[in-house]
Chains A and B, each alone.
Chain A
Amino acid sequence: MKDFLKHIIIFLTLILLSGLLKAQELFVFTEPASNMPSKSLGIRASNWLMYDKSDAMLNYQLIPELMWGVNKDLMLHFDGFFTNQGGNFHAVGFGTYIKYRIYSADAVNRHFRMAAFARISLNNSEIFQEEIDLTRNNTGYALGLIATQLLHKQAISASMSFNQAYNNGSENKFPANQADQALNFSISTGRLIFPKRYLNYKQTNVNIMLEFLGQHLLNENENFIDMAPAVQFIFNSQSRLDIGYKIQLYSDMQRVAPNGFMIRFEHLLFNVL
């Protein structure tokens, strides 16, 4: 299994670094600095299927998300958090994500953009790991910056954020012996592999992505780094299917389910508002 994964990773890296393909920045595990079009709505359903090391079960988490391009610089996300934790499928919280474009320099087929973002999440699930994850497990807020460089053949995006976790409601206090602050960082790259020539909007696009996601727990001085390859299909220039796999490369913090699949469907409604 390890050798197989290694081969896949080497293959993906070679494809991503080859100068043959066009860049793509619609990343799967992170957000690019670019915004969705203004007056448009996006609907997203992210399904996380993670192997739980503690009970050898499959954790299933569903995150439905509504995305709104308020204007050309501002976008808002509203998401809900559902899980099968404890045996029954139930809601555990909701959150809001705001992204604001602060800088952009565009050329034909090229741009550099920066955006600032903030997230607030409320979650009442049990806290059973040191990792702070405001999209699935923790109550808290995050503040961050994203920079995306898009060259004709290469899109590279990097992000960094400060995360503060709080009690998950009154019943699930944040453990006093755990770090409640973390720095998250990511680096992402993506390529278009099909079609070779864009002729019309009905052509299905196939993109591949490779992302590295990390966290540093402040005060505890503990870290993890995950690698997350993904394949993405874009249908009719309007709908997206992402299939990604996240694997832990390094960690010295306690995490329950770092490895597994993420399958996401997304549909964009242009000019509906």
Chain B
Amino acid sequence: MKSAHIYMMVIALFVQSSVIAQIQSVSLQARGLTCSMCSRAIYKSLQKVPNVANVQEDIEHSSYHVQFNNPSLISPEKLKKAVLDAGFSVAWMEVNINFHNTEVASDSSLKLNELIFYFVGVNKQILNGEKKLLIVDKDYLQEDDRKKFTGNFGSGLSGSNGEKIYHVTLSKS
């Protein structure tokens, strides 16, 4: 009985250490609108994206908080397309992630399921708790803000197994 208990603790430890980070939700702001009809068009478009469970809107700031049925299977690309289909653009998009002793640094990457996050403009550090990763790829951030991040990277790069690569930095807020 005692050995079974230790055995389970070892498994628990192993599982814990393998779960380095978990995606929680995505926040984004749209640009190019001021009317509530426009804002609702984006809201409706985001709701239609597969795997989206709930969208909370802040109409005054044209921002949206998106929660998912299965957060590990999110697609920032589909969220971006939903905003474009409604007739507008993305001002910024952040992926909210819960970290557990995860080391990050510029020019290093973090693979979470089908997504690869490639860090830019980040000092080497260990992350714990909920942090926001700002996507700095083209069409995910306004051009003026993107200029701060040097390096010539485009969106749509794929990993060796077809995973989508997103260039991200840590949000200040």
Contact = CB atoms under 8 A, between A and B. Distances in A.
Interface residues on B, range: 20 to 34
B87 A38 contact: yes
A106 B89 contact: yes
A22 B33 CA distance: 11
B32 interface: yes
B43 interface: yes
Contacts of B43: 201
Interface of A: prevailing SS:
loop
A77 interface: no
Contact of B36 (A113, A203, A270): A203
Interface string A12-54: 0000000000111110000000111111100000000000000
Nearest to A23: B34
Contacts of B86: 37-38, 72
Contacts of B39: 198, 201, 237
B60 to A, nearest CB: 5
Contacts of A85: none
Contact of A205 (B35, B48, B62, B142): B35
A268 B42 CA distance: 13
Given A38-B85, A72-B87, A199-B60, A237 B34 contact: no
B37 interface: yes
B35 A25 contact: yes
B31 A198 contact: no
Contact of A200 (B37, B59, B62): B59
Interface of B: 29, 31-45, 48, 57, 59-60, 62, 84-89, 91, 142
Interface of A: 22-26, 34-40, 69, 71-72, 104, 106-111, 113, 150, 152, 155, 192, 197-201, 203, 205, 234, 237-238, 240, 268, 270-271
Q: Which 9 A-B pairs have the closest CB atoms?
A: A106-B32, A198-B59, A237-B40, A270-B44, A37-B41, A111-B32, A106-B89, A237-B36, A38-B85
